[in-house]
Amino acid sequence: MTADDVEAGLETELLVEWWRAAAAVDPLVGSPDARSLGGVASVRAAVLALAGSRFLVRVSERVLVFWLKQVSAYFGQPEVREEIQRRFAAVIGPDTRVVVAHSLGSVVAYEALCAHPQWPVTDLVTLGSPLGVPHVVTQRLRPPPVRDGRGGLVGVWPGVRRWVNITDDGDFVALRPRLREVFGDRVTDVAISNGVAAHSVERYLSAAETGAAVLAGLR
């Protein structure tokens, strides 16, 4: 991946968040500082810092660029966001009780559930979710998080009875895997291991923990 593969804006912010996460787990990656941030320079610095990092060693350049573009399109293009929300709402029926959402789909599901409290959905199961990623995702949610008494941000509860968040700690998308830290103690965070394919939807869906969460919502 080169600096030409990404654009300024959301992509840059996500690259810097990946950089911070890589620095936290890989001693060979220096932490970003004020001198390395800012515009195109931060894109180039982040790409160089992440090149060869253990944090993203199993993630292909194609997947990284695809994810960057997805995030940018959803949050940066209102017409794209509205159309995705419309399509999601169209598949919710009167007997829909459990929503299972992976990756950026968990952002779509969360916003839709917040916007439609009348829906019959009782359980939300998120897999490899970026909902807790600061700046890039959390602060751009609709509805936005609110300030707590200590100056921190607390995400709005999506109106379900239960929320189970399942994450592989090596998942490059779920940079903040414990969503209870953002959305409160009602979230049940479950850590699993998907092996070398940390963000694989197939691994998440076939996990026993995912099956148990879905079954609990159907009982």
Give residue 210's Cα distance to chain centre: 17
Is pTM beyond 0.85 here?
no
pLDDT of residue 12: 73
Whether residue 176 is predicted with pLDDT greater than 70 in this model: the reply is yes
Give residue 118's Cα distance to chain centre: 25
Last residue of a domain, one of 26, 50, 76: 76
Same domain, 145 and 170: yes
Whether residue 207 is predicted with pLDDT greater than 60 in this model: the reply is yes
Same domain, 117 and 197: yes
Residue range 44-59, pLDDT digits in tens: 666 666 655 666 666 7
Last residue of a domain, one of 43, 76, 109: 76
Assign residue 165 the CATH number of its domain. Answer: 3.40.50.1820
Task: Provide the pLDDT confidence category of residue 33 given band limits of 50, 70 and 90.
Answer: low
Give residue 155's Cα distance to chain centre: 13
Same domain, 72 and 89: no
Between the two ends of the chain, the Cα-to-Cα distance in Å is: 46
Last residue of a domain, one of 26, 56, 76: 76
Whether residue 211 is predicted with pLDDT greater than 70 in this model: the reply is yes
Same domain, 205 and 158: yes
pLDDT of residue 164: 98
Give kind and range of the element (H or E) at residue 163: strand 162-168
Task: Provide the pLDDT confidence category of residue 2 given band limits of 50, 70 and 90.
Answer: very low
Tally of domains within the chain? 2
Radius of gyration, CA atoms only, the chain: 17
Range of the domain at 59: 3-76
Whether residue 1 is predicted with pLDDT greater than 50 in this model: the reply is no
Tokens read off for 211: 């099956």
Same domain, 35 and 95: no
| CA dihedral sign, ordered 32, 37, 41, 46 | positive
User: Rounded to whole angstroms, how far apart are CA atoms 95 and 120?
Assistant: 7
pLDDT of residue 65: 73
